[in-house]
Amino acid sequence: MSGGMRSGARLVSRGFSQFAAAWFLSFGVTLVVVCISAFRARTDLYEITDRVLLGVLAVLALGWFLSVALALLAPRASSVSKAAYVLLAGLMLLPLLWAPVLGAVVGAWLTGAAIEYSGVYAQFRIHVAQLLYPVSTGAFHLDLVDVVWNAFQVVATIIGFLASVVSLWPLVSQQLGRAASSSEA
């Protein structure tokens, strides 16, 4: 394998790991904050949820742009590797942005709140639906936005969860191996 191919593979692998970590952290942070807010400040839950979602979505978007820019400026990666990185980053953007929204949805569900009262959730759903509408009408020649929205939720959740597990499993298994060896000693 040539040096350019190795650096390109490392570039894509690093990007995948960054995506997985960002997905997992944004989901977890949003879920924890929404749950704590629901139990502490029930009346301000939607305001707090909106603030958290805005902040996390902004950080994710900024991180995504920074990641893509740094990948494009990578000196040892080939143009094909950079293009592959940008393509994969583009495909992973909506699942990445879905992570904190999913955290808010799960947090609201766990606390018995209705997430639909969150203005940021509503805007996210509207904007994603505006992106999915041309896809659904172009692919199926029907207005299937709700079906495509539900499919998007499932696919984005599975992609993010699997990416997180694949990227975090080596770390977890290493820690489990250390714990097992230290208990045997």
When mean pLDDT is compared across 33-37, 120-124, 144-148, 162-166, the lowest value belongs to 144-148
Give 109-115 contacts, CB < 8 A, sequence gap 24+.
110/35, 110/38, 111/34, 111/35, 111/38, 111/39, 111/45, 113/38, 113/45, 113/46, 115/49
Tokens standing for residue 122: 């509503």
Whether the pLDDT of residue 4 is over 60: the answer is: no
When mean pLDDT is compared across 38-47, 107-116, 137-146, 151-160, the lowest value belongs to 137-146
Record the pTM: 0.77
14-36: average pLDDT: 88
